[in-house]
Amino acid sequence: KYTRFSVSYYWINSLDQKTSIHNRSENVDIPPGKENKTATLPYDYSIMPLESTSSTGTYYCEVKWNDIQKKGKGVFVLARGYRNTSYRWEILITLTVLLAVLSITSTALLLWKRK
């Protein structure tokens, strides 16, 4: 009875809207001698990468047997946007070149004024 079940992953956003992410059906064989015993089976599913800040919400896993339905407590994910800071090297190089040019120009003007 409990060897066939379905696993569903979904999330609920801040507007309380449910969005299905992934569904699958399972049929697990019970080894001899393991009947009538509780078993725990891991079913991991990764959602990567989050599409945008609108991916913020609570993510759930739900398992359904014939007459039983169990839902996890959920995991809240806060998706935040970020800015690419790859300009640091370009700014550093530009500043270094600018200071070098000013230094050379200042030295040349000082030497020219002394003559």
Same domain for 90 and 70, yes or no, is: no
Structure tokens at 24: 């699958």
The pLDDT of residue 84 is above 70: no
Question: By the 8 A CB rule, do 43 and 37 touch?
Answer: no
How many angstroms from the chain centroid is the CA of residue 9? 15
**CB burial class (10 A; 0-12, 13-18, 19+) of residue 58?**
middle
Whether residue 18 is found in the same domain as residue 64: yes
Looking at the structure, tell me whether residues 71 and 95 fall in a common domain: no
Residue with tokens 């047997």: 65
Residue 21's pLDDT band, with cuts at 50, 70 and 90, is: confident
CB 8 within 8 A of CB 19: no
**Looking at the structure, do residues 90 and 56 belong to the same domain, yes or no?**
no
- 88 with 72, same domain: the answer is no
How many distinct structural domains can be found in the chain?
Answer: 2
Q: Are 59 and 104 in the same domain?
A: no
Q: What is the pTM of this model?
A: 0.56
Q: Which residues pair with 23 in a beta bridge?
A: 8
Q: What percent of the chain has pLDDT over 70?
A: 86
What is the residue range of 87's domain? 83-114
> What's the confidence (pLDDT) of residue 77?
84
Do 34 and 49 sit in the same domain of this protein?
A: yes
